[in-house]
Every structure is written in structure tokens, then in C-alpha cells.
A and B are shown apart, each in its own frame.
Chain A
């Protein structure tokens, strides 16, 4: 799976949009971009994933560049509860139930929401 690069830390004011970047310049055509977050002392939590189109769900939006070499996770109105470590992960698309389901976590971005 392709490696990802994220800034180690970021701050964002409460109520503002938090934009978390991720570089994945070696991504392959069959690889998706996944975002998870880990709130202190809890297990990681899935946020969103995408291939090449922008995606949005109730938690966040994912913007993937046209060349797919980078992406941005957007939390539209950050709250204090969004303070967490955010992980950007690239994983191959699974074409069967017996594909490689491994998630390889990097060091992530520690996002702090400032009151």
C-alpha cells in the first residue's frame, strides 16, 4: 500500500472549518484513501473514504485532487470533541471477500480545536 505524509499537528478555532491535508504521491489506480481518527484513550473511528471523486457524509468531506496524489479532509464546523489524531490511510480496493484488508496507520495529524 502507498505511504502517506501528514503534518504532525494542527490547530483550528472552534466553529471554523478544519482542513487536514494528506500527501499520497505514490498511490496506485486501485487504491482508496481512508480517514480514521482516534480520540484520546479510545479506539480509532472510521470517518470517510474515497477513490477519486469528492465525498461527503455526516462527519466530514473528502477532497481528492485530480491526479490523486493528495487529499484534504474537511471538518466543516469543528467542535472541541473533534480534538483527536487523524490518520490518512491508502488501501487497495477489495475485489473479493478475501483481499488484503490491512489498514496501515502512520503517525497521523494531531488536531487541536481551540475554544
Chain B
């Protein structure tokens, strides 16, 4: 298995632009997680899905952030409009529902100028 796949690996954009991050979980996994990592705040959970349904979005910072999971093999995290403070590494992870191990992707490094 290729593991969790994220794209793009790097994204540089200007303030105000829309940004879409993509994630393909490991086949057969039915839980998917989006995390954000910054130097100031560390690694934070933004939202997670179980069987394509959002279970906990309490970590989503504000309305500019939205996440979708239209099917079991694809999820997006969208930021509109983007701001410089959104600059971070965004990780996607997947697991079997209730599983003990979350498998993380390589991350997307986002820079908003």
C-alpha cells in the first residue's frame, strides 16, 4: 500500500486566494483526520471523519476552513480566503475506525504570503 497520499506537497499562495489540500487515505480505512502543525501551536486536530461523516470539527479555526469527504477514498481541506497566519504544515491521517494506530501522510507545507 502506498500509505496516505497528500497533494500538493508544497503550496505557496497569496493572501485572499483559495487553497485546496487533498488527501487519499489508506484503502480500507474508514476514519480520516486533518491536523495542522505550526511552531507556535504544535500539532492540532482540525477535524475527523468516520465513514465519510464529520464527527468532530471543533478544531476548525473559523468559517474560512471547510473539509469534505465525498467518498471513502478522498478528502479535501479548503481555506477561503487564505491568510498569512494559515501558513503551516497540514497533515492527513487515516485509521480503521476505533483503531489504535493512525497513519499519517507526508503533509502539505502551505505558505500564504
Contacts and interface: CB of A to CB of B under 8 A. Distances in A.
Interface of A: 32, 34, 38, 41-46, 49, 87, 94, 96-107
Given A41-B107, A43-B104, 18 more contacts: A42-B107, A43-B4, A43-B91, A43-B105, A43-B106, A44-B43, A44-B91, A44-B104, A46-B100, A97-B30, A97-B50, A101-B50, A101-B55, A101-B97, A102-B56, A103-B33, A105-B42, A106-B42
B31 interface: yes
A45 B48 contact: no
A30 B31 CA distance: 21
6 contacts: A38-B43, A43-B93, A44-B104, A45-B104, A46-B101, A102-B45
Given A43-B91, A43-B107, A96 B98 contact: yes
Nearest to A96: B98
Contacts of B43: 38, 44, 87, 105
B90 to A, nearest CB: 10
Contacts of A107: 42
B95 interface: yes
Given A43-B91, A44-B43, A104-B45, A99 B98 contact: yes
B66 interface: no
B98 A101 contact: yes
A97 B91 contact: no
B102 interface: yes
Contacts of B4: 43
A101 to B, nearest CB: 6
Interface in B31-74: 31, 33, 42-45, 48, 50, 55-56
